Amino acid sequence: MRTQVAIIGAGPAGLFLSLLLERLGVESVILELHTRKHIEERVRAGLLEFNTVQLMHELGVGDRLRRQGLEHGGIELRFNRHGHRIDFRDLAAGKCVTIYAQHEVIKDLVRARLATNHPILFETTEVLVHALDSTAPYVTFQNGGVSERLDCDFIAGCDGFHGVTRAVIPAGALTVYEREYPFGWLGILAQAPPASKELVYVHHDRGFALLSMRSPEISRLYLQCAPGEDLAQWPDDRIWSELHQRFATDDGGQLTEGPITQRTVTGMRSFVVEPMQFGRLFLAGDAAHIVPPTGAKGLNLAVADVRVLAEALGAFYARGSSDLLGQYSATCVRRVWKVQRFSWWMTQLLHRFPDDNPFDHRRQLAELDYVTSSRAASQSLAENYVGLPV
């Protein structure tokens, strides 16, 4: 097989890239480890930045998003048992964010990709990338028990944090920047109407909590917990009791309870590799960086990377220019670090750290007070939250 761009991974990065390239007349083949059903049912992120929503409409994959997405013009920061709204529309030039689950985005993108008659090869295993420092790289893999080879001009490593592409780059060629957090999130999906129309971020003595949602009927709730928390220790009653304590307000607002349909523990880390390129291999999305989920940025950052990559590949094929490809990593990394900073800032502002002392606690509360009472500070939060320009 031969194509122009071999894309490893059919997550948001790989699928958006394929549609962006299609629009520029650039051919690609996507290799995906899992089945279509698996990737279309994998519950992950759920908040789309303004730019990501715009892009879905531009690519013609926004019909269901328009019907089912929930536009949010703000968030609540809750501390000392009081809520404070950050109004995005007022503070960020009328922009908002949209709640629409990642697996719904994946369904829309897969359907659009398959309609182009260019393939997604599902259940490909033993993917290996070769000759990255030549102008004729290639990929070998197993598909349906058959050994295959895909020749190409470029390889896009969109295979997530645990993928294979980053791992083949020689250790000396990459610098890794990493920070692990001493806590995780216990997340549940509950069949219960969300108690708030917008997301609620809680700073509490017992630890952080977040109210989010997947639809007007389904709540997504998170509790700060230990990194390797044992879910067996968390029967439904204990989860609801802890959530009620952390979300309690002086005006008596109540969470809505309902059957818990899924529960997970997610670790938290910040991670960046530089450069995001090695020869003809370009890393994008989680393959190159991870953010803690507090700022809801992981998916959106993956989309921003592939916009830059598609434009650079488009320039190569249209004009034979490698300039933008040469600048790919530097262009992305500049934005990646701003998003890392914001995600870290939200995380350190709202969580309890094991070595917290009363000074840290009072400092966090002072910062929350500042962020919610100063227009300049709330504006900074709002413009980062709705998404920095690409």
Ligand X SMILES: Cc1cc2nc3c(=O)[nH]c(=O)nc-3n(C[C@H](O)[C@H](O)[C@H](O)COP(=O)(O)OP(=O)(O)OC[C@H]3O[C@@H](n4cnc5c(N)ncnc54)[C@H](O)[C@@H]3O)c2cc1C
Which residues contribute to the site for ligand X (CB under 6 A)?
Answer: 8-14, 31-34, 39, 44-46, 102, 124, 127, 158-160, 163-164, 266, 285-286, 293, 296-299, 302
Task: Classify residue 203 by its DSSP letter.
Answer: -
Nearest-angstrom CA–CA distance, 62 and 82? 36
**Is residue 340 helix, strand or coil?**
helix
Among candidate residues 312, 342, 324, the one with its CA nearest the CA of residue 49: 342
Which residue number, 218 or 248, has a Cβ lying nearer to ligand X?
218
Tokens of 209: 């909590």
Q: Which residue number, 346 or 376, has a Cβ lying nearer to ligand X?
A: 346
Which residues are part of the catalytic machinery?
Answer: 72, 201, 293, 297, 385
SS3 275: coil
Q: For residue 149, list its beta bridge partners.
A: 140
In sequence order, which residues have a C-beta less than 8 Å from that of residue 196 and are 6 or more positions away? 76, 211
CB of 301 to ligand X, least distance (A): 7
> What is d(CA 155, CA 98) in angstroms, rounded to the nearest whole number?
31
Taking the complex as a whole, the smallest distance from the CB of residue 8 to ligand X amounts, in Å, to 5
How far apart are the C-alpha atoms of 167 and 146, rounded to whole Å? Answer: 24
Nearer to ligand X, 135 or 147 (CB): 147
Q: Which is nearer to ligand X, 26 or 221 (CB)?
A: 221
Bond from prior residue into 193 cis (ω within 30 degrees of 0): no
Q: Which is nearer to ligand X, 9 or 314 (CB)?
A: 9
Pick between residue 6 and residue 26 the one whose CB is nearest to ligand X. 6
Supply the minimum distance, in Å, between the C-beta of residue 110 and ligand X.
10
| Residue 189 C-beta: closest distance to ligand X, Å | 12
Q: Specify the residue, 180 or 360, whose C-beta has the smaller distance to ligand X.
A: 180
Encoded tokens for 179: 């920070």
Alpha carbons 98 and 66: distance in angstroms, whole number? 10
State the nearest-atom distance from the C-beta of 274 to ligand X, in Å.
17
Backbone angles phi, psi at 15, to 5 degrees: -70, -45
For residues 72 and 53, the answer to whether their CB atoms sit within 8 Å is no
Q: Which long-range contacts (CB under 8 A, 24 or more apart) does 193-197 make?
A: 193/217, 193/219, 193/256, 193/258, 194/218, 194/219, 194/256, 195/219, 195/247, 195/253, 195/254, 195/255, 195/256, 196/76, 197/72
Nearest CA to 59 among 105, 101, 94, 28?
Answer: 105
* CB-nearer residue toward ligand X: 297 or 307: 297
Judging by DSSP bridges, how do beta strands 28-31 and 120-121 pair with one another?
parallel
Q: Hey, what amino acid is at 83?
A: G
